[in-house]
Amino acid sequence: MILLALAAAMLGIGGWALVRSPWETQEGLAEHQPVPFSHKHHVGDSGIDCRYCHTSVETSARAGLPATHICMTCHSQLWTGAEVLAPVRQSMATGRPLVWHRVAQVPDYVYFNHSIHVARGVGCVECHGRIDKMPLTWRAKPFQMQFCLDCHLDPAPHLRPPQLVTQMEPLRWSEAEKRSYGERVMAAHRIDPKTLTNCEMCHR
């Protein structure tokens, strides 16, 4: 608790903080945000599903960041006078969107699409880590080419039933169960690691 308060105070003063280093890959870099939004509170403690806020993750390339009215579905009733939420109320009143600083991005020359990954059952946790434990959001994985290729070369053990994609806790499956489930999905959808690692797949 004290550590958390300290970290929050440092953020307030410094504007940004290195939560965990690897500077180069921006892994662990928590950006200063207009509101100190906590996935730990909203997902970990309150159990809100990712798709409540990231509404387009199943249907489009982008997951999308929540519009202010989504926050207000709860915060017009909850914590209504809280100072930390003043920017949210202001945004609602003026119609000016909150500007969130992005932490998880790939360069423009890389093509990425959420919907296909979600449809095949790649869990959010594979690429974004334990978001449900983050008091402030940081990039959990390096989005370097090798990270993508490691999975594209052998996706089977990384696949799960699509209805479990937003579950953060690890599945209680043995390695053998994971692989045999994944191999069935690969066969059903004719997923071929050879085409998945073609340069044109991600550089279009």
User: Given candidates 162, 168, 178, 193, which one binds ligand HEC under the rule CB under 6 A?
Assistant: 168
Interface segment toward ligand HEC; rule CB under 6 A; list 1-9, 11-19, 99-107, 169-177: 99-107
For residue 145, count other CB atoms closer than 10 A to its CB.
Answer: 13
Interface segment toward ligand HEC; rule CB under 6 A; list 1-9, 13-21, 173-181, 196-204: 196-204
User: Using an 8 Å Cβ cutoff, are 54 and 63 in contact?
Assistant: yes
Interface segment toward ligand HEC; rule CB under 6 A; list 6-14, 89-97, 104-112, 172-180: 104-112
DSSP 127-196: HH--GGG-SS-BB-S---HHHHHHHHHS-GGGB--GGGTT--SPPS--HHHHHHHHHHHHHHTT--HHHH
Q: Is 29 in the site for ligand HEC (CB under 6 A)?
A: no
- In the complex, minimum distance from the CB of residue 21 to ligand HEC, in angstroms, rounded to a whole number: 17
Rounded to whole angstroms, the Cα distance separating 204 from 198 reads 10
Residue carrying the six token digits 């950006």: 31
User: Given candidates 10, 45, 80, 133, which one binds ligand HEC under the rule CB under 6 A?
Assistant: 45
User: Using an 8 Å Cβ cutoff, are 179 and 156 in contact?
Assistant: yes
Q: Is 110 in the site for ligand HEC (CB under 6 A)?
A: yes
Q: Is 91 in the site for ligand HEC (CB under 6 A)?
A: no
- In the complex, minimum distance from the CB of residue 24 to ligand HEC, in angstroms, rounded to a whole number: 9
